[in-house]
A = this chain, B = another copy of it.
Amino acid sequence: MTTEPVSPVRRRGRPRATERADTRERIHHAALELFAERGFHATGVAEIGAKADVQRGALYYHIGSKEDLLWAILRDYTRLLLADAERIIEAHADPVETLTRLIRSHVELIVTHRRAVAVHLRDADALTHEHAVVLQQLRDRLQRHWQDVIDAGHAAGHLRTADHIVTNGLLGMLNSLGYWYRERGPHSPAEIADILTDTILSGLRATDDNTEG
């Protein structure tokens, strides 16, 4: 029932694993684009099928429901952020260097996955309770990693405070990129990361040490 070319080696009428994976990826990609553009509620399953070039019957073979697609998008994106943070933390740099790397990598992931960020910011409330709980656990783990790094920086005397307000505000600042980042803006993601890192670490106030030029 899919519109994929029929492979001569297909057996028992079921698509092969690689074809199934391709189809699933097309469906996920279509859902991500439509959810990011119009919102979860305003997107119909039929539109996702049309965009992915998959018929309705096959669509339900590959995915369970529209909510399952939303869950897959938000889960995959949050797991990606988490794996990336864990990789950076495991390198055991000093806390300020680790924080700098976390900010830079977070900015790059947000820019790369800004459609998932937009869906996250807008439509996370549409998850089932069960999925919302698991997503919150993943986000809490991520936030705890950032907090641990900031705590370590404070304990070592390199950071002035480790208040949770700062961690929340910092992550809020970075996540807001999902709203205001423009592909054709004057700065690359790396430059944006540098500007935000400087703002967070050194502040905006001019001092003898940080005055430009």
Chain B residues, Cβ within 8 Å of A12:
none
CB-based nearest B residue for A159: B204
Contacts of A38 in B (CB 8 A): 125
Interface size on A, residues (CB 8 A): 50
Q: Which of B96, B159, B168, B175 contacts A172 (CB 8 A)?
A: B175
CB-CB nearest in chain B for A176: B172
Q: How many copies of the chain does the oligomer comprise? A: 2
Q: Which residues of B contact A158 (CB under 8 A)?
A: 205-206
A199 near B122 with CB under 8 A, answer no
In the bound complex, how far is the Cα of B199 from the Cα of A201, in angstroms?
Answer: 8
A200 at interface by CB-CB < 8 Å: yes
Contact A180 B176 (CB under 8 A): no
Sorted nearest first, the 7 A-B pairs with minimum C-beta distance are A172-B176, A203-B203, A41-B41, A173-B173, A202-B203, A168-B180, A201-B205
A160-B207, A165-B191, A172-B176 are known contacts; what are 19 more A-B pairs with Cβ within 8 Å? A122-B123, A122-B125, A158-B206, A160-B204, A160-B205, A160-B211, A163-B195, A165-B196, A166-B204, A169-B199, A172-B173, A172-B177, A172-B179, A173-B176, A199-B203, A200-B203, A200-B204, A201-B205, A202-B203
Can you name 21 A-B pairs with beta carbons within 8 Å?
A39-B41, A41-B41, A160-B205, A160-B206, A161-B199, A161-B204, A161-B212, A163-B195, A165-B192, A165-B195, A165-B196, A168-B176, A169-B195, A170-B173, A172-B175, A172-B177, A172-B179, A173-B173, A173-B176, A199-B203, A201-B205
